[in-house]
């Protein structure tokens, strides 16, 4: 599998380049007899009569995208840590044609290999269309995933700050044997974070982690795409002193200092043998009419004009329209490459605020 390629806006085009929406740039497997029909979007929650909700995910990382859908729908901040996928029977080559025509190209890296996941869904009880019991919903999603014959088994743990983290619990090694897995972010690290941006702080966390923590796969942690959605104008306001603290607790404490509802995910990329740390902003803190802070969805208006949940492409289009209007005449950083237009690196809180 290629490293996930979320979106950045290029005027007048959209390219897969930056970090904003997590999307694997990989085709979903064709639906087989007995499998769930492919949905029109890569993740979706459908509400039914009687307080029943069903989350659908049809990507190469279905559990991760199911959790992302729950966070978007209910305003949660459930974190996610991948179980590694290394067994050949659990991998699919989505660049097969290219590999056949370019023998030996990136052979050692297995560039283009992805988890061989099936479309996944889970049904659970909800209170109403905006609220659900977190323990019931998450527990049911994990149970259904573990029974779905998709790669890896997962469990629910709580952080030192009492937040929820879904972590890999078992995976198949290269011989096909099911082995227990110790999630890498449980490793304790020590560092002092002087006042800096969240992006810089997470780079420091990754460096300390790679210096102090080893795992069975000898796979490093990469944080180059973490917190980029805050843009170059992100404020320098996170700090902390951490001595012998689990890496996940350090990360969560740093995320909680930002003015919004953020959560993190760790994805293992097959072939590259590397873990990628990413952070996601679903709700930002704004001051309500009564003067109190409230959480406002980053992507306001999740329904389109037909009353259907907006697809990711629709959301990206709206975001690009907002950015295009925002950057005209502004002092935001721009890089004219002369071919695809102006690549816009933006302050997420300023430019994305215009979404309707």
Under the banding of pLDDT at 50, 70 and 90, the label for residue 101 is confident
Which residue did the predictor score with more confidence, 299 or 339?
Answer: 299
Global pTM value: 0.71
Under the banding of pLDDT at 50, 70 and 90, the label for residue 271 is confident
Q: Is residue 289 over pLDDT 60?
A: yes
Mean of pLDDT values over 248-265:
91
Determine the Cα–Cα distance for residues 138 and 156; give it in Å rounded to an integer: 8
Under the banding of pLDDT at 50, 70 and 90, the label for residue 296 is low
Which of 111, 139, 48 shows the shortest CA–CA distance to 270? 111
Q: Is residue 211 over pLDDT 90?
A: yes
| φ, ψ for residue 263, nearest 5 deg | -145, 170
Name the E strands within 173-215: 178-180, 188-196
pLDDT at 231: 52
Under the banding of pLDDT at 50, 70 and 90, the label for residue 218 is very high
Determine the Cα–Cα distance for residues 312 and 44; give it in Å rounded to an integer: 10
Which of 83, 67, 79, 78 shows the shortest CA–CA distance to 182? 83
Determine the Cα–Cα distance for residues 161 and 147; give it in Å rounded to an integer: 30
Mean of pLDDT values over 262-282:
89
Per the prediction, the chain carries an average pLDDT of: 74
pLDDT at 283: 67
Determine the Cα–Cα distance for residues 351 and 321; give it in Å rounded to an integer: 10
Contact 67, 43 (CB under 8 A): no
3-state secondary structure of 312: helix
Mean of pLDDT values over 90-103:
75
Mean of pLDDT values over 192-199:
94
Which of 35, 23, 22, 25 shows the shortest CA–CA distance to 117? 35
Q: Is the bond leading into 177 cis (omega within 30 degrees of zero)?
A: no
Determine the Cα–Cα distance for residues 258 and 236; give it in Å rounded to an integer: 10
Per-residue tokens: 215:
């795992």
Highest mean pLDDT of the ranges 183-192, 222-231, 317-326: 183-192
- Model pLDDT for residues 17-49, shown as the tens digit of each residue: 333 333 333 232 332 333 333 344 578 899 999
Q: Is residue 232 over pLDDT 50?
A: no
pLDDT at 114: 79
Contact 6, 18 (CB under 8 A): yes
Mean of pLDDT values over 311-327:
45
Highest mean pLDDT of the ranges 33-47, 218-232, 283-297: 218-232
Per-residue tokens: 174:
């290269």
pLDDT at 22: 32
pLDDT at 196: 93
Alpha helices in the chain (DSSP H): 62-74, 96-101, 134-146, 198-212, 247-255, 312-327, 348-351
3-state secondary structure of 268: strand
- In order, the DSSP letters of 55-106 are EEE-SSSHHHHHHHHHHHHHT---EEEPPP---GGGEEETTHHHHHHSTTTT
Q: Is residue 348 over pLDDT 60?
A: no
Lowest model confidence (mean pLDDT) among 61-65, 261-265, 346-350: 346-350
- Model pLDDT for residues 111-147, shown as the tens digit of each residue: 567 788 889 999 999 998 889 999 999 999 999 999 9
- Model pLDDT for residues 141-183, shown as the tens digit of each residue: 999 999 999 999 999 999 999 999 999 999 999 999 999 999 9
pLDDT at 93: 76
Under the banding of pLDDT at 50, 70 and 90, the label for residue 252 is very high
Per-residue tokens: 175:
């011989």
Under the banding of pLDDT at 50, 70 and 90, the label for residue 259 is confident
Q: Is residue 336 over pLDDT 90?
A: no
């Amino acid at each position: 599998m290629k490293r996930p390629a979320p979106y950045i806006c290029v005027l007048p085009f959209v390219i897969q380049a930056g970090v904003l929406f997590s999307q694997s740039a990989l085709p979903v497997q064709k639906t087989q007899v007995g499998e769930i029909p492919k949905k029109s979007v890569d993740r979706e929650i459908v509400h039914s009569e009687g307080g029943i909700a069903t989350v659908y995910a049809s990507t190469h990382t279905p559990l991760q995208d199911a959790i992302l859908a729950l966070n978007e729908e209910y305003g949660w901040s459930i974190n996610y840590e991948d179980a590694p996928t290394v067994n050949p029977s659990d991998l699919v080559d989505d660049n097969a044609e290219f590999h056949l025509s370019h023998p030996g190209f990136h052979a050692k890296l297995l560039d283009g290999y992805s988890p061989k996941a099936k479309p996944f869904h889970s049904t659970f009880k909800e209170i109403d269309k905006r609220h659900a019991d977190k323990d019931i919903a998450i527990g049911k999603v994990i149970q259904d995933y573990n029974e779905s014959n998709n790669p890896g088994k997962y469990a629910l743990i709580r952080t030192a700050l009492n937040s929820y983290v879904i972590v890999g619990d078992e995976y198949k090694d290269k011989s096909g044997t099911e082995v227990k897995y110790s999630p890498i972010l449980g490793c304790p690290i020590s560092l002092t974070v002087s006042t800096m941006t969240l992006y810089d702080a997470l780079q420091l966390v990754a460096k300390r982690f790679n210096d102090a923590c080893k795992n069975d796969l000898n796979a490093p942690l990469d944080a180059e795409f973490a917190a980029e959605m805050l843009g170059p104008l992100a404020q320098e306001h996170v700090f902390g002193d951490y001595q012998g603290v689990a890496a996940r607790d350090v990360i969560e404490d740093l995320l909680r200092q930002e003015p919004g509802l953020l959560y993190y995910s760790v994805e293992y990329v097959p072939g590259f043998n590397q873990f990628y740390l990413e952070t996601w902003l679903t709700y930002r803190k704004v001051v309500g009419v009564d003067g109190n802070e409230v959480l406002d969805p980053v992507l306001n208006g999740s329904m389109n004009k037909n009353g259907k949940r907006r697809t990711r492409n629709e959301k990206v289009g709206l975001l690009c329209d907002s950015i295009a209007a925002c950057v005209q005449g502004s002092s935001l950083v721009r890089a004219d490459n002369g071919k695809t237009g102006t690549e816009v690196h933006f302050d997420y809180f300023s430019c994305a605020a215009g979404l309707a």
